[in-house]
Amino acid sequence: MKKKIAPSILSADFSRLGEEVKAVEKAGAHLIHVDVMDGHFVPNITIGPVVVQGLRKLTSLPLDVHLMIEEPERYVEVFAEAGSDWITIHAEACSPLRQTIRKLRQLKVRPGVVVNPSTSLKTLYPILDQVDYVLVMSVHPGFGGQPLIPSTLRKVSQLRKIVDRDYPSVEIAVDGGIKVENITDVAKAGADIFVLGTGIFKTKNYKETIRKLKKMINDA
């Protein structure tokens, strides 16, 4: 499976959001990761469907929308209509998890499930046959710029084994605290998709950073 770099716009300069997205697209990003926060599931508040709609017009890259919201089942339709290509919902925030994943597929969105650092992989067992990807949080969700929690990489390795054995089409994404300095470890643990906020947007030359990141994940 082709490994992918997904810049998280949370760390972009929002006064120039369009230019920032175009710049990472030009620099070789594979996806645009969009962090939606509701002030309930996580303490922070970010953006809603209107911003997704705006981004949709700007870029041809897939929009990977990470819903850090309570009861995501109430909002998947509106985020799909706004132009999301991929959507992840938190296992911790959604009780009708299977139905919501099924709904995403009906909406022609690639469905994914996310787990927080303290959530066991066992939570995923009933739905691994339903999702296209799993997003493993390597920080507690809510803010960019936090350090990666090392124990989450063991979880990635465990998930890698399960996926390789039983669900080979499922991709593994990792989100939080990834940088040039540690991306090789994340790749070795078994990630396919690498989400980086500050690790890209707080560097000077996006093209050079993404070139380095791609080389490191493909050499790992």
Binding test (CB under 6 A) with ligand DX5, winner from 94, 174, 199, 217: 199
The answer to whether residue 66 forms part of the interface with Zn ion (CB under 5 A) is yes
How many residues make contact with ligand DX5 (CB under 6 A)? 22
Establish how many alpha carbons lie within 13 A of residue 17's alpha carbon, considering only the half-sphere containing its beta carbon. Answer: 18
Would you say 90 and 72 are in contact if contact means Cβ atoms under 8 Å apart? yes
Query: Angle 42-66-27 (CA atoms, 0-180°, nearest 5)?
Result: 125
Would you say 76 and 107 are in contact if contact means Cβ atoms under 8 Å apart? yes
The answer to whether residue 144 forms part of the interface with ligand DX5 (CB under 6 A) is yes
Residue appearing with tokens 């990792």: 174
What burial class does residue 217 get, using C-beta atoms within 10 Å of its C-beta: 0-12 exposed, 13-18 middle, 19+ buried? buried
- What is the rounded distance in angstroms from the CA atom of residue 130 to the CA atom of residue 111? 8
- The binder of 39, among Zn ion, ligand DX5, none, by C-beta within 5 to 8 A per type, is none
Q: Which residues are catalytic?
A: 35, 175
The answer to whether residue 38 forms part of the interface with Zn ion (CB under 5 A) is no
The answer to whether residue 4 forms part of the interface with Zn ion (CB under 5 A) is no
The answer to whether residue 182 forms part of the interface with ligand DX5 (CB under 6 A) is no
Binding map of ligand DX5 across residues 85-114, x = CB under 6 A, - = no contact: ------------------------------
Note the residues at the interface with Zn ion (CB under 5 A).
Answer: 35, 66, 175
